[in-house]
Structure 1
Amino acid sequence: MKDPLIHRLRIVGVIMFLFAGIIIGRLFFLQIVSADHYKREANNQYVAVSEEEFDRGKIFFKEKNNTTLSASSVKSGFVLALTPSLLPEDKEGVYDKLSSVVDIDKEDFLKKAEKKGDPFEDIAHKLTSKQAETIKSYAIPGVKSYREDWRLYPAGNLSSHVLGFVGYKGDKLVGRYGIEEYYEDVLKRGSDNDFLINSFAEIFLNTGKNLFAGDKNSGTKVDREGDIVLTIEPKVQLFLEDTLDKIMDKWDSSLSGGIIIEPKTGRILAMAAKPDFNPNHYGDETDLSVFVNPNIESVFEFGSIMKPLTIAAALNDKVITPNTTYDDKGYISLNGSRIENYDGKARGIVDMQEVLNHSLNTGAVFAMQQLGKDRFYDYIIKYGFGDYTGVDLPGEVKGLISNLDSSREIEYATASFGQGVALTPIEMTRALSTMANGGELMKPYVVDKILVAGGLDINIEPKKQDNVLSKETSKKITSMLINTVDTALLNGTVKLEHYSLAAKTGTAQLPSVDDKGYDKDKYLHSFFGYGPAYDSRFLVFLYVKEPVGARYASETLTYPFMDLMKFLLNYYEVPPDR
């Protein structure tokens, strides 16, 4: 028979263990789950309470070493307010006291102080707790402060088109544009009675219900509400934005934009367009079009950067090889229209490598004709043109390829070199990545992870949407594009000694304002490239609209591209490949 003393000790031990569990659970609840509640109670000791409280999930950039950096958070402070009818007669004296604590416009203060019919007038916002305490200590009748929370974007303009902002929609503060809008259901927060995430109670469900009964934040509702970690790398984003600013300044252009993507995964490391905005002061903008992200919400005819995709498709179907030749007469006539090379010159017998090196329109048409209209159209669809990419940002539009509904060969011919089909930058970036990653169409994305209380994080994984090119074709077209950089791009003067890069420029006339043909004096320049070419870590896509003083993209975008590539290869410490 077991010793009764041992039996009693075991019972005591179990009781002590359960008691310790209760204490630990209670401490977790008080310090973690109810932290915000008790913080508010502390604030209420010296301020009036606002009827509305604002709370929202955080957004983080993700640095290359996997650490996070705040991109968007909630900042707390106080509002200084007046009840004019309760103020002392000496308004000047009141002003002097308050202005010694916080910067207040005197004229505005005195004007509001005389509005005795108004029960409430805000005087200053975003006071610190120390300022609020000091004002409270003055005990001035009719003067009070109350807590306010607001959305803060610590990096200002950085990544503004990706982030969006929080603004009013009707009488509610909600995400507007960008991540703030797309992930509204994740970032929004309910009232104290709705937002009930209690990790301890999730583990010990029934115990939690009893232990925490009566507490405002107790409960077991598990929501998808959480914080967001972006794929955006802040230093890469900053370098891209600085580059775009320089392009805008140098060429006095109306728009510039760019995307840096990992072609193997679809992870977007940077995405930007200029002009942009400061989400902290979005109300200062008078032109609301600045909030639109042209990388996903605008379409462009990109011109010659389509040629490698056309040639890759023909290579993939084995109807041409890099050495296939044709007789370039400088022009081709189809359906009563004449298509010319950019300079109108004939080059005689040339192969497909020369088509890329000299950006020959007739060569792209030749490759399309070897495929045939039906197969060329099949590849247009497989590249994802005319469809959504699925990028996790709001407002994405489809590219315009309806001209290919026509049976006229001229429509397919012009599409082969990027005219007549209008695509979004993200759509084009996704398609170009197929040449860099072995032929796979990867879904682009800007959110890396959703952080949920209790360790229930949601990791966003790369998603392959289609197989477009064979690995063999990918290597062939990459080799051809390396040759273009090494021998033809600015006459081969910008190639990197220790890294292979594959790249191509694009110059396209802009449609005329009356929709009748093209404006001969206005251009859209584009440039894409990836490297190290045979094991690509990065694909960079750039464009600039209406540059002044330059006709060709090689003039405006070659050096910015090279600067970006050098930065990326150095920043990520990528080993040389040659």
Structure 2
Amino acid sequence: MSPLVVMRKRIAFLFFCVCAFLVVLIIRLGFVQLSQGADLRKKADDSHYRGVPVAPKRGNIEDRNGNVLAMSISTETVYAIPAEVRQAGKAKETALTLSKLLGKSEADIEARITKRSALEYIQKQVKPEVAAQIRALALPGIGTTEDSQRYYPQGTLACHIIGFAGIDNQGLEGIELTRDSELKGVPGSILQEFGANGIPLPQAEHQYLAPKQGNTVRLTIDANIQAFAERELKKLMAGQGTNMNGQSPKSASILVMDPNTGEMLALASTPGFDPNHYQDADPSARRNIAVQNGYEPGSTFKIITLAAALQEKKIKPTEHFFDKGAYTVLGKNVRCWKAGGHGDQTFVQVAENSCNPGFIEMGQRLGMDTFYKYLREFGFGQKTGIEMSGEARGILANKKKATALDLATMSIGQTNNVTPIQLLTGVSAVANGGTLLKPQLVKEIVGPSGRVVTPFEKEEVRRVISEDTSKLEREILESVVTNGTGRRSFLPGYRVAGKTGTAQKVVNGSYIQGEYIASFVAFAPADKPRLAILAVIDGVPFFGGAVAAPVVQSVMLDSLKYLGVKPDPQAPLVPGKPMPGLEFPPLKKAATVPSVLGMPVAEAEKTLSEAGFKVQTDGQGETVLDQIPHGDTQVEEGSNVLLYLGKDAAAPTLAHWWEDDDEDIEAINSLAGRVPISASPLGQ
């Protein structure tokens, strides 16, 4: 083959190789341009466009009527672009100037503004006047941007529900946390073009991407009813509550629910805190004890025992039961709070008198399996699902290990551990016709335009008792208030149903003496309930009827009037008297106890007798050192007044006075010292 032919072949081969390379290059360029162009363009922009974030305004939190409970107010943030600061060569001078204006360490500021990063925040939530001074100085590489700060205009009101947000406007507790995604909004930014050396390009365009404001979370809470509840809690903590005698409880909660919808109208606990200064509060004060703490409910739980016994037809209200003063189970005597017992009584009177042996009989007739069935049906031992982080499940005795004695104590509200929100939810099921509802805290989510984005409807969990059982128990519980141990919550003109409760506290596996958890739960009007209220007061030497019932009475009266619920002209009688045993005689006439402190005993007895009271004395001496009830207290005409005499009179023993109240105190004392089954594994 001639050299010319060989050369031509080589040239052709080289030509085809070059063509193939060009084809591959064109295909690759086309792929990059068409398929990856957008991503590469964004990366290019990111490399020479730098954005200063603009924080969105966090959405409001409002009560059900639109009253603002949490809002965001405008502030500013001071930032630095370190590359620009270094380029100017004035880092030390800039740090010194900012240190004087911001009150921060000069060394700390210098370290920040010279850091190897694209953007550094120097200080957030700067006052507008300070930010204006910094802008006027035109310091190289230093700028300000719009920011916001969380503000709670009502202070401590509903603090445990609202929670609080941190300095970066992130939700940390309460609704601020659980609804953070709806509240926080979408950040915006200010974009500026920079060169490869990190210096802004002259006459470069600025782009402003506006932030999107967060949604408003509208709660089911009514700020006025919440205020009624918190007012009573403040009185309690100041020792000003009825029968508190200047003593303060360790903690207390008041919960108010619409039993027909499950909406919480108030959820108040004390001690509380100011979310504007949450950092200053003790962590224990931020705990939502109404949702996160459990306790043995005492006699308020008898509402559940009664509901189960009526539903299963294990008792008839007119059936008689004889209380001899104690109920013997497995060789152990569980005593009634009334020495010697109540004698012969109907089961309606068992409820009115809060008779322990009568309720134990109900539990024994139900049996272990059926009793536990209703525990579960009413939601005990499980979370209610209320929108609060850290909700407790409560603790139920291990069914496999429980004995008939445990069933007896569970029937009167001991042994098992429940949360206040669980108990109120269960009682609301009795009040509303028999349906267990999920407690609600959020009514709706509202967009920045004012349009409702997400409405919330009531959630029915399950039916636990029938309409007929609910109606009958409402009548019986009304009798408890009108004619029984709950009379201190009686409201003239309103039909109130309720139950007192007192439980000793468990510490290190044993009951402690002389310190109780007093509670009262009620709903009204009894025939068509609008409100269900529970008060739980921890750490008092008094019974539920004496301390908690007046608290519920006050909140109930103010709330009913506020809601426009008019008095019933037929109250407190049940229309039609549906069955024997439910006739409710009116209360005796109320009378004010005169103060006889410091008087000689003979003069004190004469003063009280002339006022229509009976007198009992305790201690030795001729001078009255103390009295129960105290002066100016409203009680029934003809009641007993206990006088403590002499210098060494014994400390008040409330059992002398309040023995007609409720209570399980004698029964609890008979079991004191044994390890409660409430220490059993969770939910078993």
TM-score range, shorter chain: 0.7 to 0.9
RMSD of aligned Cα (Å): 3.2
Structure 2: unaligned runs, 5 residues or longer: 1-50, 81-89, 114-120, 190-206, 240-246, 571-684
Q: Decide whether the 8 Å contact of 1:163 with 1:178 is kept in 2.
A: yes
CA distance in structure 1 between the partners assigned to 2:72 and 2:529 by the alignment: 38
CA distance in structure 2 between the partners assigned to 1:319 and 1:116 by the alignment: 76
Q: Decide whether the 8 Å contact of 1:84 with 1:112 is kept in 2.
A: no
Q: Runs in 1 of length 4+ with deviation above 6 angstroms? A: 80-84, 121-124, 138-144
Q: Decide whether the 8 Å contact of 1:178 with 1:393 is kept in 2.
A: yes
The Cα of 1:234 is off from its aligned counterpart by 0.7
Q: Decide whether the 8 Å contact of 1:85 with 1:119 is kept in 2.
A: no
The counterpart of 1:179, out of the listed 175, 178, 197, is 175
Residue identity matched to 2:147: E
CA distance in structure 2 between the partners assigned to 1:225 and 1:496 by the alignment: 44
Matching residue of 1:73: 71
Matching residue of 2:409: 414
CA distance in structure 2 between the partners assigned to 1:489 and 1:126 by the alignment: 58
SS across alignment from 1:457 = strand
Q: Deviations over 1:435-455 (max 9, x none)?
A: 211111111000000124674
Matching residue of 1:463: 459
Q: TM-score, normalised to structure 1's length?
A: 0.75
Residue identity matched to 2:526: A
Residue identity matched to 1:85: K
CA distance in structure 1 between the partners assigned to 2:238 and 2:309 by the alignment: 40
The counterpart of 1:240, out of the listed 220, 224, 229, is 229
Matched, 1:367 2:368: no
Residue identity matched to 2:479: N
Matching residue of 1:556: 547
Residue identity matched to 1:416: S
The Cα of 1:323 is off from its aligned counterpart by 1.7
Q: Decide whether the 8 Å contact of 1:84 with 1:115 is kept in 2.
A: no
Q: TM-score, normalised to structure 2's length?
A: 0.64
Q: Decide whether the 8 Å contact of 2:318 with 2:348 is kept in 1.
A: yes
Q: 78-87 vs 496-505, which deviates more?
A: 78-87
The Cα of 1:143 is off from its aligned counterpart by 8.9
The counterpart of 1:449, out of the listed 444, 449, 471, is 444
Structure 1: unaligned runs, 5 residues or longer: 1-48, 99-103, 194-213
Change beyond 3 A, Cα 1:245–1:132: same
Matching residue of 1:289: 284
SS across alignment from 1:402 = coil
Residue identity matched to 2:151: L
Q: 302-311 vs 455-464, which deviates more?
A: 455-464
The Cα of 1:146 is off from its aligned counterpart by 4.9
Change beyond 3 A, Cα 1:462–1:88: closer
Q: Deviations over 1:150-190 (max 9, x none)?
A: 2222212111111111237xxx7532221112122222333
Matching residue of 1:349: 344
Question: What are the within-5 Å matches in structure 2 for residues 558-573 of structure 1?
Answer: 558-573=549-564
Matching residue of 1:270: 266
Q: Deviations over 1:197-223 (max 9, x none)?
A: xxxxxxxxxxxxxxxxx98469xxxx9
SS across alignment from 1:342 = coil
Q: Deviations over 1:234-273 (max 9, x none)?
A: 1111111111111122131111001100001100001011
Change beyond 3 A, Cα 1:414–1:403: farther
Matched, 1:152 2:151: yes
Aligned residues: 479
Change beyond 3 A, Cα 1:255–1:50: farther
CA distance in structure 2 between the partners assigned to 1:155 and 1:300 by the alignment: 30
Question: What are the within-5 Å matches in structure 2 for residues 505-544 of structure 1?
Answer: 505-512=500-507, 514-515=508-509, 517-544=510-537
Change beyond 3 A, Cα 1:349–1:333: same
Matching residue of 1:196: none
CA distance in structure 2 between the partners assigned to 1:309 and 1:112 by the alignment: 62
Q: Decide whether the 8 Å contact of 1:229 with 1:451 is kept in 2.
A: yes
Matched, 1:482 2:517: no
CA distance in structure 2 between the partners assigned to 1:456 and 1:542 by the alignment: 34
Question: What are the within-5 Å matches in structure 2 for residues 75-474 of structure 1?
Answer: 75-78=73-76, 85-86=92-93, 109=103, 112=105, 117-118=110-111, 125-128=125-128, 132-133=131-132, 136-137=135-136, 146-167=145-166, 174-192=170-188, 216=209, 226-250=215-239, 251-285=247-281, 287-452=282-447, 455=451, 457-474=453-470
The Cα of 1:473 is off from its aligned counterpart by 1.3
Question: What are the within-5 Å matches in structure 2 for residues 14-25 of structure 1?
Answer: none
Q: Decide whether the 8 Å contact of 1:331 with 1:344 is kept in 2.
A: no
Change beyond 3 A, Cα 1:526–1:227: same
SS across alignment from 1:62 = coil
CA distance in structure 1 between the partners assigned to 2:513 and 2:108 by the alignment: 61
CA distance in structure 2 between the partners assigned to 1:530 and 1:302 by the alignment: 17
CA distance in structure 1 between the partners assigned to 2:567 and 2:406 by the alignment: 43
SS across alignment from 1:431 = helix
Q: Deviations over 1:537-566 (max 9, x none)?
A: 00011101002xx42111111221111111
Q: Decide whether the 8 Å contact of 1:403 with 1:411 is kept in 2.
A: no
The Cα of 1:142 is off from its aligned counterpart by 10
Change beyond 3 A, Cα 1:573–1:136: same
CA distance in structure 2 between the partners assigned to 1:541 and 1:332 by the alignment: 29
Q: Decide whether the 8 Å contact of 1:404 with 1:411 is kept in 2.
A: no
CA distance in structure 1 between the partners assigned to 2:124 and 2:172 by the alignment: 25
Residue identity matched to 2:561: N
Q: Decide whether the 8 Å contact of 2:125 with 2:148 is kept in 1.
A: no
SS across alignment from 1:393 = coil
Change beyond 3 A, Cα 1:116–1:488: closer
Q: Decide whether the 8 Å contact of 2:393 with 2:419 is kept in 1.
A: yes
CA distance in structure 2 between the partners assigned to 1:458 and 1:573 by the alignment: 29
The Cα of 1:430 is off from its aligned counterpart by 0.5
The Cα of 1:387 is off from its aligned counterpart by 1.3
Q: Decide whether the 8 Å contact of 2:256 with 2:532 is kept in 1.
A: yes
The percentage of counterpart residues that share the same residue type is 29
Structure number with greater Rg is 2
